[in-house]
Structure 1
Amino acid sequence: MILGKSRRAGKRVMQGVQRFLERTLKLRINQDKSRVAPTGQATFLGFTFRGVRIRWT
């Protein structure tokens, strides 16, 4: 999970991470599972991210 201040910043960071994983580590990225989302709508491994708070659900 990558968190950023804006959608634009998140997309920029995601592109850099994908490039590193694919070129350097030779890993494939599942595009269906990869996304940039606002922190208010992010749920990952049972944790819900809302603003600056992290809650376990």
Structure 2
Amino acid sequence: MLDALNPSKNRAAAHRAMALAALHANSSLATRLTRYNAHMAKARALETAGGAQ
């Protein structure tokens, strides 16, 4: 119920999950690292902007 009041926390968790999934994807190392870094950057931005803890 409290997570509904802070959707950025949910989105940050989703981006962290997508970042880990990107590392295990069947792609080149460069592609996996690029996707991982992009998702982690979004997760960090959401945590900073949304005040997620």
TM-score of the aligned structures, taking structure 1 as reference length: 0.40
- Please state which structure has a larger fraction of its residues in helix: 2
Q: Which has the higher contact order (CA 8 A, sep 6+)?
A: 2
What TM-score, normalized by structure 2, do the two folds share?
A: 0.42
